[in-house]
Amino acid sequence: MSFFKKLKESISSKTESVTKQFKDGLEKTRKGFVEKVAELVTRRKKIDEEFFEELEEILIGADVGVNTVMELIDDLRDEVKKRKIEDAVDLQPIMSEKLIGLLRGDEDNEIKLNPDGITVILFVGVNGVGKTTTIGKLAHYYKQQGKRVLMAAGDTFRAGAIEQLEVWGERVGVEVIKQSAGSDPAAVMFDAVQAAKQRGVDILLCDTAGRLQNKSNLMEELNKIFRVIQREIPGAPHEVLMVLDATTGQNALAQAKLFGEKSGVTGLVLTKLDGTAKGGIVIAIRQELSLPVKLVGLGEKMEDLQKFDSEQFVHGLFAGLIQEEEETANIEQ
């Protein structure tokens, strides 16, 4: 059985609709990355130094990350020698398997919920990455599951941030706890936790400021929020999700390194993955950070915020090649 056929069969039929979202959401990356590799393999035919140089360029262009690319190319060179591979086409499935290996991790991608009461999920990240939209979409997701949800407008510094969350609240039918612009975010969190307790809420989703005057101010503010939440609900927050804009590529990775070190981040959300040809950033993040990607944004619709799944991601990435192979097999029959 071929590699691509095995890949397809590894995806359960139950997940076909989700697979379509990953396939559609990764179209730009597929064209900018996987199809370029397929074209290189067809054009070059033989494996030589120029082949590896071009492959390296394609991988770096897709934001797979320089360190990861160098390691991958070294691995492929070793495989070529070991297996005495001469034709480029024979290297393609090996490279695909290695990319899947880079994506898979032992870490749990599930969002951790509190089994004994209110689950508090804190969102951090710089302004403009889609943090508020992510909170709104996740509120919709949990409400659809029958959970009682509340949102806290803790970004009191950015103009319009409170109003933006309120618009999402109206849209998904979830109440927003807020104070006036410029208020102390920790005070907003205190009010939100009290309201969550009084109303028997299952999930409390908390927005936070993306930028203050400097980094130490921002960390101080986050620490204050942490203390208030932990005092009121021991063990909370249960998740601290850092939201990153996938279209910024390596810049997103740099943000995660800088921000994640000191803010207790437990997982990442990659937004706007459908808007970039550089979806390889997912691979770079998995390799260079010890943080799991928990959610990905694959489009504008409410349902386009999906739990990250490496099998789904790879299926979406290689969808065109799987289809091509099926068509070739049908012609041969």
Distance CA 68, CA 286 (A): 10
Neighbours of 109 (CB within 10 A): 14
Nearest Cα to Cα of residue 304 among 145, 136, 169, 171: 136
Model confidence at 322, in pLDDT bands (50, 70, 90)?
Answer: low
Kindly report, residue by residue over 189-209, the tens digit of the pLDDT: 999 999 999 999 999 999 998
pLDDT value of residue 92: 79
pLDDT value at 222 more than 70: yes
Report percent pLDDT > 70 for the chain. Answer: 86
In a domain, 260, yes or no: yes
Distance CA 259, CA 253 (A): 10
pLDDT value of residue 91: 86
Distance CA 63, CA 134 (A): 23
**Higher per-residue pLDDT: 52 or 35:** 52
pLDDT value at 321 more than 70: no
Judge if 185 and 48 occupy the same domain.
Answer: no
**Higher per-residue pLDDT: 292 or 169:** 169
- What's the CATH code of the domain at 281? 3.40.50.300
pLDDT value at 126 more than 50: yes
Interior/surface letters 220-237, b for 16+ CB within 10 angstroms, e for the rest = ebbeebbebbeebbeebb
pLDDT value at 17 more than 60: no
Binding site members for GTP: 125-132, 207-211, 271-274
pLDDT value of residue 318: 75
In a domain, 4, yes or no: no
Distance CA 331, CA 159 (A): 59
Judge if 244 and 159 occupy the same domain.
Answer: yes
Judge if 31 and 140 occupy the same domain.
Answer: no
pLDDT value at 95 more than 50: yes
Distance CA 31, CA 122 (A): 35
Model confidence at 6, in pLDDT bands (50, 70, 90)?
Answer: low
- Contact between 257 and 137 (Cβ < 8 Å): no
Nearest Cα to Cα of residue 244 among 204, 205, 203, 278: 278
Cα-only R_g, the chain:
22
Judge if 145 and 215 occupy the same domain.
Answer: yes
Judge if 71 and 128 occupy the same domain.
Answer: no
pLDDT value of residue 107: 56
In a domain, 219, yes or no: yes
pLDDT value of residue 328: 45
Helix or strand holding residue 90 (H, E): none
Q: What is the three-class DSSP state of 310? A: helix
Average model confidence (pLDDT) for the chain?
Answer: 85
Judge if 157 and 288 occupy the same domain.
Answer: yes
pLDDT value of residue 286: 81
pTM for the model: 0.86
> Which residues face 175 on adjacent strands?
150
Binding site members: 125-132, 207-211, 271-274
Distance CA 207, CA 123 (A): 5
- Contact between 207 and 120 (Cβ < 8 Å): no
Structural domain range at position 167:
119-309
Judge if 30 and 173 occupy the same domain.
Answer: no
pLDDT value of residue 54: 94
In a domain, 63, yes or no: yes
Interior/surface letters 189-214, b for 16+ CB within 10 angstroms, e for the rest = bbbbbeebeeeebbbbbbbbbbeeee
Please work out, in degrees rounded to the nearest 5, the angle formed at the alpha carbon of residue 94 by the alpha carbons of 15 and 327.
55
Kindly report, residue by residue over 284-304, the tens digit of the pLDDT: 888 888 788 999 999 889 989
What DSSP character marks residue 32? I
Judge if 155 and 179 occupy the same domain.
Answer: yes
In a domain, 67, yes or no: yes
In a domain, 195, yes or no: yes
Domains in the chain, number: 2
- What's the CATH code of the domain at 88? 1.20.120.140
Judge if 176 and 296 occupy the same domain.
Answer: yes
Judge if 68 and 137 occupy the same domain.
Answer: no
pLDDT value of residue 2: 53
Any idea which residue has 């509190």 for tokens? 114
- Contact between 19 and 312 (Cβ < 8 Å): yes
Kindly report, residue by residue over 248-293, the tens digit of the pLDDT: 888 888 888 777 666 689 999 999 999 988 888 888 888 888 788 9
In a domain, 6, yes or no: no
Respond yes or no on whether the N-terminal peptide bond of residue 237 is cis (omega within 30° of 0): yes
Contacts of 177 (CB under 8 A, 6+ apart): 150, 151, 152, 153, 188, 191, 192, 195
Judge if 184 and 52 occupy the same domain.
Answer: no
Kindly report, residue by residue over 62-86, the tens digit of the pLDDT: 888 888 899 999 999 999 999 999 8
pLDDT value of residue 70: 94
Q: Work out the average pLDDT over 217-242.
A: 92
pLDDT value of residue 330: 47
**Phi/psi of residue 267, nearest 5 degrees:** -170, 170
Judge if 46 and 75 occupy the same domain.
Answer: yes
pLDDT value at 13 more than 50: no
pLDDT value at 329 more than 50: no
In a domain, 161, yes or no: yes
- Contact between 292 and 105 (Cβ < 8 Å): yes
